[in-house]
Amino acid sequence: MKVFWQKGFEATSLDDLTKAMGLSRSSFYSAFGCKQSLFLQALEHYSKNGIRNLKQVADTAEDDAVDAMMQALANPKGGPQGCMLINCITELAPHDEQVAAIGRRHLENIEETFAKVIDPEHPEAVRDKASAYSSLAIGTLALRKAGMPAERIANTLKQAKTILST
Amino acid sequence: MKVFWQKGFEATSLDDLTKAMGLSRSSFYSAFGCKQSLFLQALEHYSKNGIRNLKQVADTAEDDAVDAMMQALANPKGGPQGCMLINCITELAPHDEQVAAIGRRHLENIEETFAKVIDPEHPEAVRDKASAYSSLAIGTLALRKAGMPAERIANTLKQAKTILST
DNA sequence: CTAATTTTGGACTGAATAGTCCAAAAACCA
DNA sequence: TGGTTTTTGGACTATTCAGTCCAAAATTAG
């Protein structure tokens, strides 16, 4: 998963994978069938894990759960490589419906988590607002990847959050 | 440019390029030196053209210039392949400083265009808000690529714009 | 301990890749 | 026209890739 996260699907070679996994080629193919299959599993794993983390961030936030979620989304643990799912959506979704489907589900889960935090009683009513928070956080990932100063990104997020939360 | 836009850098082969350009391999290499060099030129061209279009959208908008710009950014002409620069930032920026630099400049130009539209007198004062609009529009590109219903995306944008503009 | 089964290393295949090279064709020019 | 320069087609090289295959090693079972 980490290798795919860092390099994307096409740029990851079988040698990269077998080396990272400490597996021989034959073991790899007998276990996973093909590169694509492992990739989809890695993507699913990343998504599940990411959503779980996001919910945990929301639950354990001290005062402002929405802010904590935005921070978590805009500064993914992986470092400069951003969010694996956004990377993969960008690289593959237009040509690969399976990836697109996992991506859609992930994005919907993010939005749903936002909605429940914003209005636990009527999450449906704040769906568009939740979607806006989500899209905003995802948009800043591009700034980050392009090497924009972290301070600028933080200001953007802060400003937007202040306005959106009114 | 169109081929790189559609397929990304790595996935575009020399055969793809020479066929699209109607050029032989030798002519290609004598004209551009290498694949990377043509790619950077294509990226520059895309950026210049995109910013010019965006400014034109802002200038010729009937009532709400910010809204028109958001629509233009969230629905790039190329179709489902989104914005070439965001694609390339995602694919290459973390490992290629030249691409990252072009990406940064492009994003800054977008933000500047927003800022001048929001407050022509004091664009500096609304920089963060401009950045928020920009990030939001860019974020929705991921939704689009993942195949989210266009209506949902439009609602997100509308909702966010309404709130951000207050 | 032995025999059957599973797992492993890594050589191998065929296809695709970016970039080079040169003889032949085309364009140019005096 | 005849000679020079530029451009072109496409064969070629060296590398990389995903995926296959099998003999040897390891594991398991009786």
The answer to whether B40 CB is within 7 Å of strand C is no
Q: Chain B residue closest to A104 (CA)?
A: B146
Q: How confident is the model at residue A160 (pLDDT cuts 50, 70, 90)?
A: confident
Q: What is the pLDDT of residue B73?
A: 96
Please, which positions of strand D sit below 7 A from a protein CB? Answer: 7-11, 16-22
pLDDT along chain B (166 residues), means of 10: 94 94 92 95 97 97 93 86 94 94 98 96 95 95 95 91 76
Under 8 Å CB-to-CB from A35, ≥6 apart: which residues? A9, A12, A14, A17
Q: Give me the DSSP letters along A5-24.
A: HHH-STT--HHHHHHHHT--
Tell if the CB–CB gap between B142 and A86 is shorter than 8 Å. Answer: yes
B160 and A136 in contact (C-beta within 8 Å)?
Answer: yes
Q: What is the pLDDT of residue A166?
A: 66
User: Nearest nt to B30, CA vs C1'?
Assistant: D7
Q: How far is B115 from chain A (nearest CA, A)?
A: 13
Q: How far is the CA of B13 from the C1' of D16 (A)?
A: 14
Between these two residues, A34 and B80, which has the higher pLDDT value?
A: A34
Average pLDDT over residues A22-46: 94
Q: What is the pLDDT of residue B159?
A: 85
> Can you tell me which residue has the tokens 């040698």?
A15
> Can you tell me which residue has the tokens 């991506």?
A103
B69 and B54 in contact (C-beta within 8 Å)?
Answer: yes
The answer to whether B15 CB is within 7 Å of strand C is yes
Closest residue by Cα to residue A105 from A118, A116, A126, A89: A89
> Mean pLDDT, chain A, as a whole number?
93
- The pLDDT of residue A155 is above 70: yes
- The pLDDT of residue A147 is above 70: yes
CA distance B128 to B63: 23
Element (H, E) at B41: helix B35-60
Please, which positions of strand C sit below 7 A from a protein CB? Answer: 7-11, 16-22
Residue type, A122: H
Average pLDDT over residues A124-147: 95
Disruptive mutation site among B104, B106, B143, B161 for chain A (greatest number of A CBs within 10 Å): B143
Protein-strand D interface by C-beta, 7 A: A 12-15, 25-26, 29, 34-36; B 23-27, 30
Residue whose CA lies closest to nucleotide D20 C1'? A26
CA distance B89 to B85: 6
What are the backbone dihedrals phi and psi of residue A6, each rounded to the nearest 5 degrees, phi first? Answer: -75, -40
- The pLDDT of residue A158 is above 80: yes
- The pLDDT of residue A10 is above 70: yes
Q: What is the pTM of this model?
A: 0.93
Q: What is the pLDDT of residue B165?
A: 75
The rounded radius of gyration (Å) of the Cα atoms in chain B is: 17
Q: Chain A residue closest to B134 (CA)?
A: A139
Average pLDDT over residues A134-151: 95
Helix/strand/coil for B6: helix
Q: What angle do CA B84, A2, B36 make, to 5 degrees?
A: 35
Sign of the C-alpha dihedral computed for residues B136, B141, B143 and B144 taken in this order: positive
Disruptive mutation site among B91, B95, B106, B136 for chain A (greatest number of A CBs within 10 Å): B136
